[in-house]
Amino acid sequence: MTTSTTSFLTYRASTPKFWLLAALGALVSAVGFIAALYMEHKGHIVTGMNQQIVWGLPHVFAIFLIVSCSGVLNVASIGSVFGKTAYKRRAALSGLLSIAMLAGGLFVLMLDLGRADRVIIAATTYNFSSIFAWNVFLYSGMFAVVAVYLWVSMEKRMYGWVKPVGVAAFVWRLILTTGTGSIFGFLLSRSAYQSAIIAPMFIIMSFAWGLAVFLIVQEVMFRWNQLEVHPAIQKRMKNLLGVFLAAVFYFVVVYHLTNIYYAKQTAFERFILLDGGIYTLLFWVGWFLVGTVVPMAMIYGSNQPSRNSIFVASLLVVVGAFCQLYVFIIGGEAFPIDIFPGWQITSTFSDGQIATYTPKLPEFLLGMGGIGVAFMITLIAVRVLKFLPEDDPVQPDAAHD
């Protein structure tokens, strides 16, 4: 196995490949920005969104990136807060991915506001009775605390501050994910939301999605440098992903069982689980089968699964995450609002009707632009600084920490 020092030099020497990937990332980011300008100029009439569904496909991308930015930092937290040596060597990459994904998520979120030129108002005028106002502080604070964490973890003179700053980052990311989940949990008018379990469910989803993203990026970086993750570390991380997936499954089951328990939620649950068309299909096939059952089988199907199977399992987890968010966000909006419980409403404004929504190309391009921004930040930072995890050829501590 090649040593980590040699691998870093090999990585920096890959100039043609770097510039090719940089050009690809810049192109994707630019196309996403152009799509946002197109939607702002033409209006949301060029999207699939309407008066019933105001959070469309771009929000699926944005929420995935923001939630995953918290979960991917879990790798650093395991190392700095809980003292696991194998994870400490991955702390820098974990922090970098957290900042990159948060930037990509906010890129999509801000440009999907409809009037992105007025974002300065949202950043300077606050209504503290709104969870949206609190999120402005949570997002900016996340950038700050992770940047400080990267500084103290990469500067030898500051090593003594790694644990306290790591604890602060650990607490802050839990608060951030709670705030993101509370955006939905506090929406009492929507049958899909208004639940106290949504915030902790978002936290455990962030753990699973963030770790899946980290495993994908780590595998790509190691393959690029012709390295292999130590088997003991690989086994540990794939088992952790399996635990997180099982926890997500548990919370989703409890969430739906809780809704079924209340008579007023039965119609919504029937819509999502049985009669929702594309939403039902994405729930059972996209999230349950492709995003949960198959990855779990690949993770636990053998005592030492191959690096290929772990990589594919991580990709499937990400696919399942997008399906789950699509069902949760858009399916939750598509189901009609019960404005006057216990009363039947008839009007010419589609009251009581399932809303229709078909994503359009500009929405998809804007979402991919956020992915492109996260990719560009990661690519450039890895090129400039030493973010590749430095594993020794023999890891005697990996199996015991």
- Which pLDDT score is estimated for 359? 93
Structure tokens at 246: 């099982």
- Which pLDDT score is estimated for 345? 63
H/E/C letters for each residue in 326-352?
Answer: HHHHHHHHHCCCCCCCCCCCCCCCCCC
If one compares 394 and 290, the residue with the highest pLDDT of the two is 290
- Which pLDDT score is estimated for 203? 94
Confidence of residue 396 (pLDDT cuts 50, 70, 90): very low
How does pLDDT run across 311-347, given as a tens digit for each residue? 999 999 999 999 999 999 999 888 887 665 666 666 6
The mean per-residue pLDDT over the stretch 66-93 comes to 86
Confidence of residue 388 (pLDDT cuts 50, 70, 90): confident
If one compares 335 and 103, the residue with the highest pLDDT of the two is 103
Report the 10 Å Cβ neighbour count for 17: 11
- Which pLDDT score is estimated for 235? 87
Identify the residue whose tokens are 């007025």. Answer: 118
- Which pLDDT score is estimated for 391? 65
Residues in the chain: 401
- What integer best gives the mean pLDDT of the chain? 85
Radius of gyration of the chain (CA): 22
The mean per-residue pLDDT over the stretch 336-363 comes to 74
Confidence of residue 393 (pLDDT cuts 50, 70, 90): low
Confidence of residue 399 (pLDDT cuts 50, 70, 90): very low
Least confidently predicted of 95-109, 215-229, 339-353: 339-353
If one compares 18 and 213, the residue with the highest pLDDT of the two is 213
Q: How far is Cα of residue 392 from the mean position of the Cα atoms in its chain?
A: 30
Checking if the pLDDT of 85 tops 80, the result is: no
CA atoms of 71 and 61, how far apart (whole Å): 15
CA atoms of 215 and 181, how far apart (whole Å): 24
- Which pLDDT score is estimated for 2? 41
- The ranges assigned to domains in the chain are 4-338+350-384
Q: For 85, what's the count of Cα atoms within 13 Å in the CB-facing half-sphere?
A: 10
Superfamily of domain 4-338+350-384: Formate dehydrogenase/DMSO reductase domain (1.20.1630.10)
How does pLDDT run across 117-172, given as a tens digit for each residue? 777 776 777 777 777 778 788 888 999 999 999 888 888 788 788 889 989 999 99
The mean per-residue pLDDT over the stretch 244-263 comes to 92
Indicate the pTM of the whole model.
0.89
Checking if the pLDDT of 307 tops 50, the result is: yes
